[in-house]
Amino acid sequence: MDTLAHVLEAPLWEIAERFSGALDVYIPHSALVIFTKECTGRPQKKAGDESIISRVTIGELEQLRARLPLTGVWRGSHRLGGAERPVIAWMATTGALLALTDPQLDEDHAGHMSVVDAMWQMVAMRIQQQVAAAPPSYLRESRAASAERARVTAEMTDAHATTLETVLAVLRSRDLDDARARRTATDLAAAAMVRLRTASDLDRSLAEEPVGKAFARLRDDLSPLMRFGDVEVQLVEPPADGRALPGEVAHAARAVVRAAVLGMAEQPGVRRVRTQWNCDGSNLLMNIRDDGPGALTAESLTVMQLRSRIHALNGLLTVQVTPGWGSELQVTLPLDPPAPTLDEMVKWGLAERELEVLKHIAAGQRNRSIAKSLGISENTVKFHTRNLFRKMGAASRAEAAALAHAAGL
């Protein structure tokens, strides 16, 4: 129980590492992968063998998800990390996927898998809670976590290049006549276009949420209060053709409105709370106001907690209070990251090579890829990484990437 508590207390970017260590006692494994669509920006959380986790693709995980039953455990061989390997996988009630590669099972494996399943259900629920609560740390991580999107783009690029090479090989083949070569090349190109389009759509669905869908989820979140509470909650929907919201903005917006509505509803004398969303193409604009005594001020605990969430996304919160008439919150959340600035780089005192390594880390690259890009050894990359972590006060690659993105790198 202490070990499980240690896992549940972890921030999202550490949860895979801690969970892998906890499960290794029951089922030793080479790598652990968690895949959850609701965690935007970084839907994969991985720990273990670098040669496996650096190659795991979203397409592989989607194919594994399709093979799993709705409940229980799945065992078999599956292509994961670029190679066919033994895998054990579970689906949580939240829809999240857990996969262990190269599991080592003993005579007590049946009981062990029951324990793992129970632990996984709690961990998956905790992930869902952290995403729904949208704390500032999660919002910074989501905005900074371009690694998975970069990986998907790289996957599509590699797949496209492979298809072109194959098509060229077919067209150059002396073993095929012209008609058969054209037919084969056409079939290859058509199939590749479908795969690339599917990967592109999946990437977009993980990274963005239509504003109408995001608002509908807010309505669902507030439906118990609207149905059973004493306060009338009015929701004014945004234009249906508004720009899609980055996932972290959608999560933050719902969390802010939920907290604001609950904070307003707790005040004596409040009978109605009204919230409205709009989008000007660059920002999500939110207005939340009540008809109470105007007790919710900028110094209120609820407002201070909201401000930390909003500032995590470089947003703006203003509070207008009219005694006897109510409180009004105006929230502006930018849909794009801030423009680049290197002020933090000066403060951290990074050397030129350390800054280069940090740029690659912020882009989601692993040590081997960084070494190849910079023409240095992998050990040298590790040396620079340790130094920049120390200077930045970062405990992990994810934290370093988040700090770099927050600084506009």
CA distance 218 to 18: 32
Query: Any bridge partners for residue 220, and if so which?
Result: none
Q: Please state whether beta strands 283-290 and 245-246 pair in parallel, antiparallel, or not at all (unpaired).
A: unpaired
3-state helix, strand, coil in the chain (%, to 5): 55, 20, 30
**H/E segment holding residue 248:** helix 247-265
User: How many whole angstroms from its chain centre is CA 308?
Assistant: 20
Is 70 exceeded by the pLDDT of residue 278?
yes
Q: What is the mean pLDDT of the chain?
A: 82
CA distance 297 to 290: 12
**Taking the domains of the chain in order of start, what are their residue ranges?**
2-133, 146-207, 210-334, 343-406
CA distance 95 to 76: 20
pTM given for the model: 0.53
**Do 67 and 76 contact (CB within 8 A), yes or no?**
yes
Q: Count how many Cα atoms sit within 13 Å of the Cα of residue 79 in the half-sphere of its side chain.
A: 8
Is 80 exceeded by the pLDDT of residue 405?
no
Query: Any bridge partners for residue 286, and if so which?
Result: 277, 331
Written out in words, the top-level CATH class of the domain with range 2-133 is: alpha beta
- Rounded mean pLDDT, 53-62: 83
- Give the pLDDT of residue 102: 94
CA distance 211 to 244: 5
- Rounded mean pLDDT, 190-201: 64
- Give the pLDDT of residue 138: 62
- Give the pLDDT of residue 146: 43
CATH number, domain 343-406: 1.10.10.10
User: How many whole angstroms from its chain centre is CA 74?
Assistant: 25
Which CATH superfamily groups domain 210-334? Histidine kinase-like ATPase, C-terminal domain (3.30.565.10)
**Do 97 and 91 contact (CB within 8 A), yes or no?**
yes
- The per-residue pLDDT for range 3-48, each reduced to its tens digit, is 889 899 888 778 889 999 999 989 999 999 999 876 655 677 888 8
- Give the pLDDT of residue 149: 53
